[in-house]
Amino acid sequence: MLIERLSSGTKVIDDFLNGGIERGVITNFYGPPGSGKTNLSLLFTLSSLKNGDVAYIDTENGFSTERFFQIGGKKEDLKKILYENPTNFKEQIKTIQKLRNLNVKLIVVDSIVSLYRLEINKENFTEINRDLAKQLAALSFIAKDKKIPVVITNQVYSVNSDEIELSGRDIVKYWSKCLVELKKIEDNRRLAILRKHRSLPEGRKVEFEITNSGIEKAKFRIF
């Protein structure tokens, strides 16, 4: 069966994902602040705008028009981005529910868990996790029903000095058919590790650099 993919518009990421992110499923980029999550979200947004509108849910105020223009976006492209900026978890729930009625070619949620983390506590733990699962189920249904890719980004926290965990843990892992961990190495250099995929080997890695114009393959280093 031919798997349709959305290109990132950058060779290093497309080679890493065998052509780009899959349509019909949720792809999750996770890592610490500054690891490249929003840059990747913007690249896939720009690539998808060639085919139609994009729904972009920005829970961290991370969408930068300046950065969007740097990587090749135009003012007229902004008219095709259906931008939402929920400020609490209930607003996020309502925003995701509205996506079923939109005709878009890509959905981006950057990030799926920032508002979740602000509101979860011991008293509402079960309810908030149930709501998160419902949102992810809705996104998964839309992806499959409309045959479009869904990109979500995920925050992380430290378990110990050598291990990190995704916020939302097993709930997010279950609904994400592709999991890509992003790590900061130094300066603008980043490492992407494939942690889960339906057709590609887990554990494959690629280093890339965040540049003024986007993302490029990391340059060879002499130590």
The first and second tokens of residue 195, run together, are: 């942690």
Percent of the chain with pLDDT over 90: 87
pLDDT at 205 over 80: yes
Separation between Cα atoms, residue 180 and residue 123, nearest integer Å: 31
pLDDT at 163 over 80: no
Burial string for 193-216 (b: 16+ CB within 10 Å, else e) reads bbbebeeeeeeeebbbbbeeebbe
For residue 26, CA distances in Å to 4, 193, 205, 216 come to 13, 17, 20, 24
Terminal Cα-to-Cα distance of the chain (whole angstroms): 45
Instruction: Please state the CATH superfamily assignment of the domain spanning residues 5-217 in this structure.
Output: P-loop containing nucleotide triphosphate hydrolases (3.40.50.300)
Separation between Cα atoms, residue 27 and residue 7, nearest integer Å: 13
φ and ψ of 19, to 5 deg? 120, -15
Confidence of residue 222 (pLDDT cuts 50, 70, 90): very low
Model-wide pTM > 0.75 = yes
What is the mean predicted confidence (pLDDT) over 73-78?
Answer: 97
Confidence of residue 159 (pLDDT cuts 50, 70, 90): low
Separation between Cα atoms, residue 38 and residue 167, nearest integer Å: 17
The first and second tokens of residue 64, run together, are: 């930068």
Q: Which residues pair with 151 in a beta bridge?
A: 27, 108
Calculate helix-pair angle for 125-146, 89-98, nearest 10 degrees: 20
Q: Please give the DSSP secondary-structure letter assigned to residue 199.
A: S
The first and second tokens of residue 89, run together, are: 């978890």
What is the mean predicted confidence (pLDDT) over 114-122?
Answer: 92
**Angle, CA of 86, 88 and 94, to the nearest 5°:** 60
- Counting Cα atoms < 13 Å in the Cβ hemisphere of 155 gives 14
* Closest among 153, 54, 61 to 104, alpha carbons compared: 54
Confidence of residue 223 (pLDDT cuts 50, 70, 90): very low
Cβ contacts of 187 within 8 Å, gap of 6 or more: none
